[in-house]
Each structure stands twice: as C-alpha cells, then as structure tokens.
Amino acid sequence: MKHKIYIVGMGPGEESMMTMQAYETLMSCDTIIGYQVYLKLLGEAFAGKDQLSTPMKQERERCILCFEKAEEGISKREDKSIETIKLRSKRKE
C-alpha cells in the first residue's frame, strides 16, 4: 500500500469502534494525517506510525500535506529504483 492515499472514516474515533477495514488500512500505512483531536483517539496500536496533523478548520492544509507526503514517497521509490539500476550495471562490468 505504499505511495497511495486512503481516505478512512474512523467512526466515532476510538480504535475499538472502527471497522476492521478502517483498522487494517490504517495499520498498513506509514503515515496517518488527520485532525489532531482524532489522531489522539486512535490509540496505542497506531503510536508507532508517523502522525501529522493541522488544527481545526485547516482541512485544505491537511490535504496539501497529504499529497506532499505521497509525492515524497514516490520520489524515494524512484531514487531507490535508480540506485538499483546503477548497482546492476556495475555488477555487469
């Protein structure tokens, strides 16, 4: 699930009240971006995730942050691909 953006409804907010699909999707993500109050409700299961937030009424900024983080992931993946190609070509020499 790398380099994808998922919009996940947390239900009432507490981990125990989420659907299994929402829980599994969030567990598979490297970064969770949301309203800071809701991130606090996620619980200990998500404590190791990179969690980014903005204050209330900054939905637009959260969306921009989300796309910026997704682009960073794509850039990192492309960099790794280039490094892999370089290593392969050196091995052939």
State pTM to two decimals: 0.70
28 with 1: CB under 8 angstroms?
yes
Q: Is it the case that residue 1 has pLDDT exceeding 60?
A: no
| Average pLDDT value for residue range 8-27 | 86
Q: Which SS3 state, helix, strand or coil, does residue 31 take?
A: strand
Q: Is it the case that residue 71 has pLDDT exceeding 80?
A: yes
Q: Phi and psi at residue 53, in whole multiples of 5°?
A: -145, 170
| Average pLDDT value for residue range 33-48 | 88
Q: Is it the case that residue 78 has pLDDT exceeding 60?
A: no
Which residue(s) pair with 51 in the sheet?
32
Q: How confident is the model at residue 21 (pLDDT cuts 50, 70, 90)?
A: very high
Task: Return the pLDDT at 69.
Answer: 87
